[in-house]
Structures are given as C-alpha cells and as structure tokens.
Amino acid sequence: MPLAEVVVRAFTIDLSEYPRWAVILAGTAVAAVALWLMMKVLKWTLWLLIVAVVLGGLAWAGWELLR
C-alpha cells in the first residue's frame, strides 16, 4: 500500500452521519475563526513592518547625518 493512500485513509473523516446543516454551520464557524486569526496575524505583521520601516529610516537618516 503506497504511503499516500495510507495518509488519505488515516485522516478521512466521515461526516455523512451528521445533518448537512450542522456540517455547513461548523465549517462556516471554523472558516470564520481561521479568517479572524489570519487577520490578527496580518495586523501585527503590518505593525511590525511599519515600526521596522520607521526605525530603519531614522537609523539611515542618523547615519547620513553623522557621516
């Protein structure tokens, strides 16, 4: 048995026993939470980028001033 087939069989979850609306609702909730987390990470990444650009610009200006 190939490794890929073992991995597919190991992580397959049968959702057919649950009501379709519950699966859709749970999937929507998981997607919304994942999107919210990605937005939080992106927000902090952008703040860090802004701080890095400001500090880099100040350091460069200071270097040019002292040189």
pLDDT of residue 14: 82
The conformational region for residue 37 under phi > 0 = left, psi -120 to 50 = alpha, else beta, is: alpha
pTM over 0.75: no
Least confident of 5-9, 21-25, 45-49, 56-60: 5-9
Which residues, in sequence order, are CB contacts of 23 under 8 Å at separation 6+? 15
**Model confidence at 15: pLDDT above 90:** no
Range of the domain at 47: 3-66
Q: How many domains does the chain have?
A: 1
**Model confidence at 7: pLDDT above 90:** no
Tens digit of each residue's pLDDT (9 = 90 or more) over 19-53:
999 999 999 999 999 999 999 999 999 999 999 99
